[in-house]
Amino acid sequence: MIEFTDIRKVYGDDTVLGPVSGRIPAGGVTSLVGPNGAGKSTLLTIIGRLAEPTSGTVTVDGLDVHRAKSQDVARTLSVLRQENHFTARVTVRELVSFGRFPHSRGRLTREDVTHVDDALDFLHLGDLQHRYLDQLSGGQRQRAYVAMVLAQDTRYVLLDEPLNNLDMKHSVRMMAQLRRAADELGKTVVLIVHDINFAAAYSDRIIALRDGRIAASDTVEAMMRAEVLTEVFDTPVRIHEVDGTRTAVYYR
């Protein structure tokens, strides 16, 4: 279980987040949604200990992520940012192999190689594994990054907008693969999603942020209601039942 208590992030005089508290249970897919500047990324990167909170603590399965040994945290949770810039030219396979670093410290064992192969298979990257990242399309590269965090084989996987730059087809595939990672591999997936309907279709829980606070947090069922979403996004939202799923309509 991920538990965050009184998290605040302050830049100068600006409080961009918090104080927020909450918990994300183990298992399943949890989506963070909210308008721009709501603090989604800030919260996710603080939980993933890529940023220090101004105050507050985060524990993941009892491990204080900002104080525990970085290597131990890296075996418990993995986190992927939206933008990744690498100095080196690496192939897909080399990138995914980096995911084993917390376990092997660089020397790959046979077990590590198996994990890398599994992660490549899981995201259908087998034939692309010897390509360099700069020879891939945006969607393929995004899959390679996700394969890296899956190879890390952590119980918790945090992703900042994995659908960024993906077209319809690749978005659907990415979400289905993440859903599969939760269902088949038992991962706890926490991700930021821009499209509320994507969040509804693939998540178990939705946490909505607004103005640096948690505006609402509940199951998909409870969250996909017109008054909740209208409030969160500050835009009139109507809910329609389409193919048995609640779908938000807000385009006009």
Partner 1 sequence: MSETHLPAPSPVETARDGKGAGAAAVAPVRRGLPPAARLAVAGGLAAVAVVCFLFLFIEGSFDFAFERRLTMLGTMLVVAFTQAVGTVVFQTITHNRILTPSIMGFDSVYILMQTLLVSVFGGGVLAATDGMPKLVTQTLLMVGFTMLLFGWLFSGRSGSLHVLLLVGVVLGLAFRSLSDFLQRMLSPAEYDVLSARLFGRLSSAEAAYLPLAGAVCLIVGAVVWQRRYRLDALLLGRDAATNLGISYKRELTVMLLLVSLLIAMSTALAGPMTFFGFVTAMLAHQMSGTHRHAVVLPMAFLIGLITLAGGQFIMEHVFYASGMLTVVIEFVGGAVFLVHLLRKGTL
Binding site for partner 1 (CB under 8 A): 45, 48-50, 69-75, 78-81, 84-90, 94, 98-99, 101-102, 105-107, 124-128, 130-132, 134-137, 139-140, 149, 152, 169-170, 173
DSSP conformation letters of 30-75? EEEE-STTSSHHHHHHHHTTSS--SEEEEEETTEETTTS-HHHHHT
- To partner 1, the closest distance from the beta carbon of 126 in angstroms equals 5
- To partner 1, the closest distance from the beta carbon of 198 in angstroms equals 19
- To partner 1, the closest distance from the beta carbon of 48 in angstroms equals 7
- To partner 1, the closest distance from the beta carbon of 19 in angstroms equals 22
* Cβ-based nearer residue to partner 1, 36 or 88: 88
* Cβ-based nearer residue to partner 1, 123 or 215: 123
Q: How many CA atoms lie within 13 A of 184 on its CB side?
A: 10
CA distances (Å), origin 186, targets 26, 150, 252: 9, 11, 39
| Residue 5: closest CA among 41, 52, 49, 59 | 59
| Cα-to-chain-centroid distance, residue 95 | 18
* Cβ-based nearer residue to partner 1, 14 or 227: 14
* Cβ-based nearer residue to partner 1, 149 or 196: 149
* Cβ-based nearer residue to partner 1, 99 or 215: 99
DSSP conformation letters of 138-179? HHHHHHHHHHHHHHTT-SEEEES-TTTT--HHHHHHHHHHHH
* Cβ-based nearer residue to partner 1, 141 or 210: 141
The residues, ordered by sequence, that sit 6+ positions from 221 with a Cβ below 8 Å of its Cβ are: 246
* Cβ-based nearer residue to partner 1, 166 or 229: 166
- To partner 1, the closest distance from the beta carbon of 202 in angstroms equals 19
- As beta bridge partners, residue 216 has 208
- As beta bridge partners, residue 207 has 32, 217
- As beta bridge partners, residue 147 has none
Give CA–CA dist 114/236, Å, rounded.
49
- To partner 1, the closest distance from the beta carbon of 214 in angstroms equals 24
- To partner 1, the closest distance from the beta carbon of 28 in angstroms equals 22
Q: What angle do CA 156, 160, 165 make, to 5 degrees?
A: 135
